[in-house]
Structure 1
Amino acid sequence: MSELDFDTLISPCSREQFFSEYWETKPLRISRRQPDYYGSLVSGSDIDYLLSVACLLDREGVELLGSKELREGSDKKPASALYQAYRQGASFRIRGINRFWKPIWTLCIRMQELFGFQVAANLYCTPADSRALDRHYDLHDTMLLQVAGRKNWRVFGSPIELPLEHVPLMKFERPIDGVQYRGAPVIRDVTAKYEPIEPSDEFVLEPGDLLYLPRGAVHEARSADSISAHVTIGIYPVTWVDLIAVALGQLGYQDVRLRKALPVGFNSADAAIKEEFDKLLNEVARSADVSKAMEEIRASLTWNQQAIGEGSIADSEPRSIDVETLIERRPGLSCRLVMDGDFVRLAACHGDLSLPKYFAKAIRFVSENQNFSVGAIPGGLSDHSKIILARRLINDGFFRVAKNSVHN
């Protein structure tokens, strides 16, 4: 199979059906009876290499799961010790496997472009008849791709609908395990209430199968009579809480009233505080700039992606380009349009291409399309100008001549 994208990942479910029926709503299980479905992504024979590389590059990102005795001091152990612990019944998790394995990295980048949210992947490997994690729910949406072996799953309801991954903290607050801010529930306490309740669904995932779990869905899994390996793709949504926090932060730099301290020795029963709070809240609703906040979020996602498009370094300048030449965005690169006064910019994490705003229609087209012929660039440009723009896009690392272009 060719490289996976989101549509092939959820096939035969359509993208439209997924977002209308399942996204943030209910689990989706796809049983394919195609054990090699993820062959182009990762296979069981790749796991030894991935474990070795992950231990060399990010030892703290490799965790032992399961028995407390086997986990003791695991973050200091070499790969050989992890292997021995695995042989004795421990599971292991490689966090951020997309950092070490190009096919998974490419899939995560493509999904990030589609969702507009951060996407990352972990690899789990569990010996036969074992459980890696106790019953729990996740604070982000997950897609589980069964790569090798079989795993028995039990899925329950969602005691908390769409729980938050995080909340903005004040300067004196620290993210500490066991400390809950803003009334956030303790996951282990919530899941404990599900101990006597029967699962809403119980099934076995086999190689090639997929399971989507919206955040908050309580679940547990146990390997069958052989080892089990699966990739969990985590989708970390930007929520309305995040958008409001960004907009409020931006407004705080513009309105000095929001930057003033609360009254010295403030008391929650102070009626004046409630009156001023309501007044400021109304001002925030009136003055906050949602477009500016969304633009900052998009810019932050692009910048923090820190991905250079494939071939940006090694590819040489094409010998010839004309209006029939097909060009494509370099795999792994996200681009966005930025209007900046009299200029328009095509922005990516590796740099910007800035042009007079006359090129706005052309750059918008470029930012919204993965591939196109040079002659299709809109905006009233002459063929000569289109070719020059295409060369800029290629030389500056945004695009490349498509591999199937007859002019390559």
Structure 2
Amino acid sequence: MSTPRTGTQDSGVETGAGVLETRLIDIGREKFACEVWGRTPLLTRRAGDFCDLFSAEAVDELISRRGLRTPFLRVAKDGATLPDSSFTSPAGVGATIADQLDDTMLWRRFADGATLVLQALHRTWEPVSQFSTELSTELGHPVQVNAYITPPQNRGFDDHYDVHDVFIVQIAGTKRWVIHDPVHPAPLRHQPWTDHRFAVARAATTPAWLDTLLEPGDCLYLPRGWIHAAQTQGEVSIHLTVGVHSWTRYALAEQLTQAALAALGDDPEMRRTLPLGLDEPGDEIDAVRRRLAAAVAEIDPTSLFQHLRREQGRPAPLGPLAQLAAVRDLRPDTAVRLRGALQARLEGSHLVTRVGPFPVPESDLPCVMRLLDGETHLAKTLGIDLVERLLRAGVLVPAEQ
């Protein structure tokens, strides 16, 4: 039997329209990819009804009943972030952790004009979590989601740019957005707007590229580097900022270089001391260049990129009690599927995933390849022993989960 060497699983990517087309834009995926992505802002009016993702009731639930801690929330006023101590306190008997959100203090800050920023909603609010997982899988780039809740006639932050692309999704109220051209196009993650503070401030005084009012259901896409500021109008504004942490050529070069340096560390010639009394290291530098170029050429970029992608995200939630029940009650007709957002990939004799590598005997390779389609399978068609091992490893989950 020939051994399948490589297979991939993309966490249930659909061949039809995904959440990008159905929820965020109205120009079609191909046109967006060719004309907009990473190049220019895009305003989509009435992109959809987002009340299933988030709402005012969700804000109150998260702040007053979930026992959130920092940094899941930050508070900003007059362009500055307030200290955590101004809105956190111990939670009383049995929960004396000092950095839990204090809803009374938050109410007072909000009533005084502060913006509440609920961070990492993709970790704390299930509808947003599912949406962000689907979008990240579709785009091929990591996604995070924050919510901004701003009282009437206020702005949370001064003119600035982000180092990641964003989709601004207006949930409630209205907010005026003023957009200016970049002063530092396509900034990298270590190149924040504060490095160009004066240029940003100067650009903000020039005619705007876009000056518009976002209403509920509108969506605004901004590539990284575009300068923006926003202000609420006559009522509370709630919007989601869907941040896309785009992979760049620079990031790939950085990772290739690091991998090459690690490989050169195993080369005795590269570890050798330079000659005594060396004044002009020209010949040595030429030799190092050749060896470094050769090391970069030997790195497997596909495997490296897949490894990095796995590190940048988390798999779908796993309920330990449901998982234990699935193992305990496993029968031939038990329906199972690959866990969502696992970034599973068969590399040789190992199934490599976000929860670690899983050795696969040659006899099980055809069944594991079938699992990579992301569909539901019966345990008896895969083998009870294999299914049990994959359930215990957190790779498979019950189909209904």
- Residue 205 (structure 2) aligned to one of 191, 196, 212: 196
**Aligned twin of 1:172:** none
Answering whether residue 43 of structure 2 is matched by residue 29 of structure 1, we say yes
Give the alignment of 1:199-238 within 5 angstroms.
199-238=208-247
Tell me, in whole angstroms, the C-alpha distance in 2 between the residues paired with 1:241 and 1:204: 35
Higher mean alpha-carbon deviation, 353-362 vs 106-115, is at: 353-362
Q: Normalising by structure 1, what TM-score?
A: 0.76
**1:137-162: per-residue Cα shift (whole Å, max 9, x none)?**
10111111111111111112122221
- Aligned pair 1:99/2:123, yes or no? yes
Asked if the contact 2:180–2:204 (Cα under 8 Å) also holds between the matched residues in 1, the reply is no
Q: 28, 34, 39: which one pairs with 1:20?
A: 34
**1:85 matched to which residue of 2?**
109
In 1, are the aligned partners of 2:170 and 2:239 still within 8 Å (CA)? yes
Amino acid corresponding to residue 398 of structure 1 in structure 2: V
Partner deviation per Cα, 1:327-352 (whole Å, 9 max, x = no partner): 54334x31321424xx2324232x44
1:250-289 correspondence to structure 2 within 5 Å: 250-255=259-264, 256=267, 272=281, 276-289=284-297
The within-5 A match list for 1:336-375 is 336-340=344-348, 343-349=349-355, 351-357=356-362, 359-360=364-365, 362-367=367-372, 369-372=373-376
Q: Write the mapping of 1:5-404 to structure 2, written as runs, cut at 5 A.
A: 5-32=19-46, 34=48, 37-52=49-64, 56-67=67-78, 73-78=83-88, 79=102, 80-166=104-190, 186-255=195-264, 256=267, 272=281, 276-289=284-297, 292-303=300-311, 305-307=313-315, 309-311=317-319, 313-315=321-323, 316-317=325-326, 321=332, 327-331=336-340, 333-340=341-348, 343-349=349-355, 351-357=356-362, 359-360=364-365, 362-367=367-372, 369-372=373-376, 384-385=381-382, 389=386, 393-394=390-391, 396-400=393-397, 402-403=399-400
Structure 1: gaps of 5 or more residues: 168-179, 376-382
Gaps (5+ residues) in structure 2?
Answer: 1-17, 89-101
Q: 1:76, 1:9 → 2: CA distance?
A: 37
In the alignment, the residues of structure 2 paired with residue 53 and residue 272 of structure 1 have an alpha-carbon distance, to the nearest angstrom, of 65
Mapped partners of 1:251, 1:321: distance in 2: 48
Q: Which deviates further from its counterpart, 123-132 or 247-256?
A: 247-256
- Displacement of 1:105: 1.7
Point out which structure has higher relative CO (alpha carbons under 8 A, 6+ apart). Answer: 2
Q: Label 1:347 to 1:31 Cα distance change in 2 as closer, same or farther (>3 A).
A: same
Residues 152 and 234 of structure 2 are in contact (CA less than 8 Å); yes or no, is this contact kept in structure 1? Answer: yes
Residue 95 of structure 1 contacts residue 122 of structure 1 at CA under 8 Å; is this kept in 2?
yes
Equivalenced residue count is 364
Q: Is the 8 A contact 2:173 2:237 kept in 1?
A: yes
One-letter code of the match for 1:51?
I
1:250 and 1:204, CA in 2 relative to 1: closer, same or farther beyond 3 A? same
RMSD of aligned C-alpha atoms? 3.6
TM-fit CA distance, 1:390: 5.4
CA 1:361/1:33 → structure 2, altered by over 3 Å: closer, same or farther? Answer: closer
Q: 1:27 to 1:387 in 2, by over 3 A?
A: farther
Partners of 1:207 and 1:64 in 2: CA distance = 23
Matches of 1:280 and 1:20, distance apart in 2: 40
- Counterpart Cα distance in 2 of 1:263 and 1:16: 57
Give me the TM-score of the superposition, normalised by structure 2: 0.77
Task: Tell me the distance in 1 between the aligned counterparts of 2:138 and 2:374.
Answer: 12
Cα pair 1:6 1:107 within 8 Å, conserved: no
| Contact 2:177–2:211 (Cα < 8 Å) also in 1 | yes
The AA in structure 1 aligned to 2:29 is R
Deviation, 1:308, is: 5.2
Give the percent of matched residue pairs that are identical in Structure 1 and Structure 2: 23
Q: Cα distance 1:125–1:185, how it changes in 2: closer, same or farther (>3 A)?
A: closer
